[in-house]
Amino acid sequence: MTHTPVLSIILAAGKGTRMCSKLPKPMHRLAHRSILGHVLATVRKAGHKKIAVVIGPDMDHLAEEAHSHAANCIICVQANRLGTANAVLSAQNVLAEHTGDVFVLFADTPLLRPETLINASAMLNKGANLVVMGFETNNPKGYGRLVIDSQGNLAAIREHSEATLQEQTIRICNSGVMAFRCSNFIAMLNQIDNNNIKQEYYLTDIVEVAHRHKLSCSVLLCDEEELLGINDRVQLAVAESKFQNQARNAAMYSGATLIDPSTVWFAYDTTLGQDVIVEPNVFFGPGVNIADGTHIRANCYIEGTIIGSGSCIGPYARLRPGAKLGTDVNIGNFVEVKNTIIGDNVKANHLSYLGDGTIGSGANIGAGTIFCNYDGFNKHSTVIGEKSFIGSNTSLVAPIQIGSGAIIGSGSVITRSVPDNALAIERNRQVHKKIWANKFRTLISRKR
């Protein structure tokens, strides 16, 4: 954690033209969280208490998104998109009141780690006035280049479009993430001009301004992957795949077995306990928490679900938001569970829809059981008592309660609540017509 108060300014006002999208670039999602959400989570984990997000004048949704991840963040509006230095100046009021370190981050670098921000703070503590987080790459096209002098100090940052052919050969690039400890930061920003091809105020020019003020500028060299900037959908897909690999490795290093890791898809917040086994082709949406020793068999789609230990899910199960499963639960093929609390040792092994319900521990849900929860207007709940037995192909028309230990005869359409330990059966009595089948066959063969 950093020791001086830190203000993080996140620039998110750019048009994101290269995304070719109606959605602002920072709203695009990576592992079910917006790119901006990832950046905000990183600065919060690094202990930055004050956060300002710079958005464009027509970006109310982005402001809402920012507040949903950091309720106290301050929204600053950049009236005209005149470049990254101008974007930072849009937070001038916040800057004027702030006395500690300042970090500037872009809302398009979602893989940045909090540890890197903490390392940059350590460099400020050791005497640097400006720290630029950079990376070395074999494909520097489009990035600003870090011009480093013979003493190893950062002399300038040259945007790709402004760089000489010689400077274009530099492979150390600017990530856009910078840390500042300088009392006259606002004055320095105001000294940046727009005498360049794009006629923009480039934040990167602050390095040369800092030199004029005799301030020391350093580079914190980081992993290329961590500082990947997303400007188009190809880079979004690259970032997604890198995030997924990191999540898969983290799950395996903490004790889960992924039989074919590249086919298991994580959300930003998926947690798997020790000795969880995940078979191929499993997709986790947000809000999934799986306890120790649970086995997720192939081809499951699981979101917003908590699963207790020792359970077995799938193959081909769909667990939707609000599913809360106890320990040693079995959910089998083609079973869909939504907003339903399932007690310990419950078995629902085949072909069922369990929505808006509560199932007591030890209950057995037969194949083809349907909770008829929706009447076209409202959702209603189904409550099943402990150790009850629901026969196959039963429709439970909610609202309804099945007592504990009750048995429901298969094929029933149950519309009234059933007492504890009762048998409920709702179907016509079976009729046998003796030797009718023989007569029928004889009749048919004569006609032929």
Query: What are the residue numbers of the active site?
Result: 350
The reply on whether position 231 binds Mg ion by CB under 5 A is yes
The reply on whether position 107 binds ligand UD1 by CB under 6 A is yes
**Among the listed residues 56, 140, 229, 304, the single contact to Mg ion using CB under 5 A:** 229
The reply on whether position 203 binds ligand UD1 by CB under 6 A is yes
**Residue corresponding to tokens 């048998």:** 423
Q: Is the dihedral of CA 92, 98, 102, 104 positive or negative?
A: negative
Q: Count the neighbouring beta carbons within 10 Å of the beta carbon of residue 244.
A: 17
- Could you tell me which stretch among 227-235, 306-314, 333-341, 355-363 binds Mg ion (CB under 5 A)? 227-235
**Cis omega before residue 315 (within 30°)?**
yes
Give 326's DSSP letter. -
Work out how close the CB of 143 gets to ligand UD1 at its nearest, in angstroms, rounded to a whole number. Answer: 4
The reply on whether position 159 binds Mg ion by CB under 5 A is no
Q: Which does 204 bind (CB under 5 to 8 A by kind): ligand UD1, Mg ion, none?
A: ligand UD1
Work out how close the CB of 226 gets to Mg ion at its nearest, in angstroms, rounded to a whole number. Answer: 15
Q: Which CB sits closer to ligand UD1, 175 or 330?
A: 175
The reply on whether position 83 binds ligand UD1 by CB under 6 A is yes
Q: Which CB sits closer to Mg ion, 159 or 303?
A: 159
Q: Which does 107 bind (CB under 5 to 8 A by kind): Mg ion, ligand UD1, none?
A: ligand UD1
The reply on whether position 87 binds ligand UD1 by CB under 6 A is yes
Torsion angles phi and psi, residue 70, rounded to 5? -145, 90
The span from the CA of 376 to the CA of 267, in Å, is: 32
Work out how close the CB of 35 gets to ligand UD1 at its nearest, in angstroms, rounded to a whole number. Answer: 9
| DSSP character string of 251-304 | HHHTT-EESSGGGEE--TT-EE-TT-EE-SSEEE-SS-EE-TT-EE-SS-EE-S
Work out how close the CB of 258 gets to Mg ion at its nearest, in angstroms, rounded to a whole number. Answer: 32
**Residue corresponding to tokens 């040259």:** 158
**Among the listed residues 75, 82, 372, 383, the single contact to ligand UD1 using CB under 6 A:** 82
Q: Which does 84 bind (CB under 5 to 8 A by kind): ligand UD1, Mg ion, none?
A: ligand UD1
Site size with Mg ion, rule: CB under 5 A: 3
The reply on whether position 81 binds ligand UD1 by CB under 6 A is yes
Query: In which element (H, E) is residue 444 found?
Result: helix 436-447
- Could you tell me which stretch among 231-239, 296-304, 308-316, 364-372 binds Mg ion (CB under 5 A)? 231-239
Q: Which of residues 143-182 bind ligand UD1 (CB under 6 A)?
A: 143-144, 157, 159, 173-176
Asked if residue 369 lies in contact with residue 347, where contact means CB atoms within 8 angstroms, the answer is no
Task: State the Cα torsion 149-152-153-155 to the nearest 10°.
Answer: 20
Q: Is the dihedral of CA 281, 282, 286, 289 positive or negative?
A: negative
Query: β-pairing, 277-278 with 295-296?
Result: parallel
- Judged by the rule CB under 6 A, the positions of this chain that interact with ligand UD1 are 11-14, 54, 78, 81-84, 86-87, 106-108, 143-144, 157, 159, 173-176, 202-204, 229, 231
